Amino acid sequence: MNKEFKPNTNNLRSAIGKLRQVLNACEAESDPERKEMLKMASAQAFEFTTEMSWKTMRKVLIWLGASSSDTDETKMKLFQKAKEEGLIDDPEKWLEYYRNRNVSSHNYGQDVADLAFDYARKVLPDAESLIQKIDEILNV
């Protein structure tokens, strides 16, 4: 572990910003067709935010010495370690986000767009909390 080189959090910050932006735009949109398009965009933003969240968690845990660089570590184990280190509160919730991050990759339609939008709205406050806790740990 080299504490000199702190994990980079820029990709996670960018993902959270884009997710917040698309959710705000969708909430404000009154045109049904544009709202549908924004919901589909929120699915992509949810996927990216979830990916960047677990990858950043992993980097921080390695930096802390709480995890090895073993790529075979299960996501549940990763999320449990993240909870132990104070990064997240609910490993099960993060596992659900992870499992549903590709909700719209192979399915299309209004139901899928609505489901992805719901997940996007759920993950945003948790991702914002994650980056805040990471900042505290890294003394940013």
The answer to whether position 73 is within a domain reads yes
Instruction: Tell me, yes or no, whether 4 lies in a domain.
Output: no
Is the whole-model pTM more than 0.85? Answer: yes
In a domain, 1, yes or no: no
Per-residue pLDDT reduced to its tens digit, 77-107: 999 999 999 999 999 999 999 998 876 666 6
For residue 45, the domain's CATH number is 1.20.120.330
119 part of a folded domain? yes
Q: Is residue 5 part of a domain?
A: no
Identify which has the larger pLDDT, 84 or 72: 84
pLDDT tens digits, residue range 34-71? 998 898 899 899 999 999 999 999 999 999 988 766 66
Q: What is the DSSP string of 19-61?
A: HHHHHHHHHH---HHHHHHHHHHHHHHHHHHHHHHHHHHHHHH
Query: Would 40 be classed as within a structural domain?
Result: yes
**The pLDDT of residue 3:** 66
Q: What is the mean pLDDT of residues 29-35?
A: 94
- pLDDT at residue 1 is higher than 60: no
Please give the structure tokens belonging to residue 134. 């990471």
The total number of structural domains in the chain stands at 1
Domain coverage including residue 104 = 10-138
2 in any annotated domain? no
Residue 133 lies in a domain: yes
- SS3 call for 8: coil
